[in-house]
Amino acid sequence: MLAELRGLNEECGVFGIWGHEDAAQISYYGLHALQHRGQEGAGIVTKEGKKFHVIKGEGLVNEVFSGNEIDDLKGNAAIGQVRYSTENGRGIENVQPLVFRSTTGSLSVAHNGNIVNAVELREHLERQGSIFQTNSDTEVLAHLIKKSSGSLTQRDRVKKALSMLKGAFAFVILTDDGLMVAQDPNGLRPLSLGKIGDAWVVASETCAFDIIGAEWIRSVEPGELIIINDKGLQSDRFAPAADSAMCSMEYVYFARPDSDIDGINIHSARKRCGKRLAREVHIEADVVTGVPDSSISAAIGFSEESGIPYELGLIKSRYVGRTFIQPTQEMREKGVKMKLSPVRQVVNGKRVVMVDDSIVRGTTSKRIVNLLKEAGATEVHVVIASPPLVSPCFYGVDISTDSELIATNRTVDEIRELIGADSLTFLSAEGMVEAIGRPDKTKNCGQCLACFTGEYPTEIYSDTVLPHKKEIV
């Protein structure tokens, strides 16, 4: 479904490169490939010798870099980020990468995820005299690194700082001497390592490698710290790997279909979820359609398994502004109609199976069901290629309270009635895990199911639960 309309948003995508004369240009294209992960801000920082150059702003990548700004970003190393922010975290000061300059050296940081003990750490640092310039969790890491005292090397300072963080994080850190890459001990957020010629690259998703012509090498491991400099690449650890807990919503919704996460292609995983869903429910219908874009793969799988023909029953407009920034629910609902249109010739007089990846608040699902019925569908059967979302996410997805979730404390039939569907079916949690097909032998095959089950892979601090008050980067 359309994340910008329904309130479910991945927080950002990160990119890094070391050792390429066109570092800024390659970062620009890499961020373009990651644009689906965040549309409210973008930035690139490059390193030329020990000098850092930075350009960032609010808007899409091609809006921030609309002229010849890239030409001003000199150097053979760079990091970048595209971001989505919560209401309290908007503003140019929160756009990343963040840059910190001091007499002991410069540092630039970009981050994907959410640090669940950030409030506690921030208060501790402020008591020690730190002054924060942003609402971002990312700034906490920079202060922790700079606060490390004694004769520790920079690598050890970074390791010590990272070991104090709890939650989900994938960091790219540019220093005077190298590029550092870190993944949280549970591996909650995707992060991949690749090469383009002799240069090393890192990105939130492998689709960024395809657009720049890079070769995928491997995923960054949970608890791993990678140091890249002119001497090459070194792997270290700042924490032992915990049980793997990759965010299930990456497979279900967030990642692009042409990306691979831990060796599993997203399109193929979604298609298998659709097939499994068709085996879990039997519906008499004439046509299957998917809500563009992320549900198309599951809809194709459902059609193939059920034998019900797949048709393009909903069309997504590519030329509508970013309606997700509209402040009222009424405007968001108008945005749904602007973004999606039913194909009347396909659905008129038909019993329609509408496949979607998830339901969050339900307002968009209700509007799409109404659109299909207004176009003449005699029945609309909604099937969801994931389990009901019943618990908030504290790891970087913009659902911070259970009051935002239609499935919390409601039965499936109550949800069906609210959205106006003739039937409603969710994929079982077991079916989703099996269909995604991770070979991991740990709990839930190495996936985080917290938003579906309420069981979190890390400790959740009381300060984390601050709806609409706390920036999650």
- Cα–Cα dist 336/221, whole Å: 39
Catalytic residue among 12, 207, 247, 448: 12
| 448 in active site | no
> Which residues are part of the catalytic machinery?
12
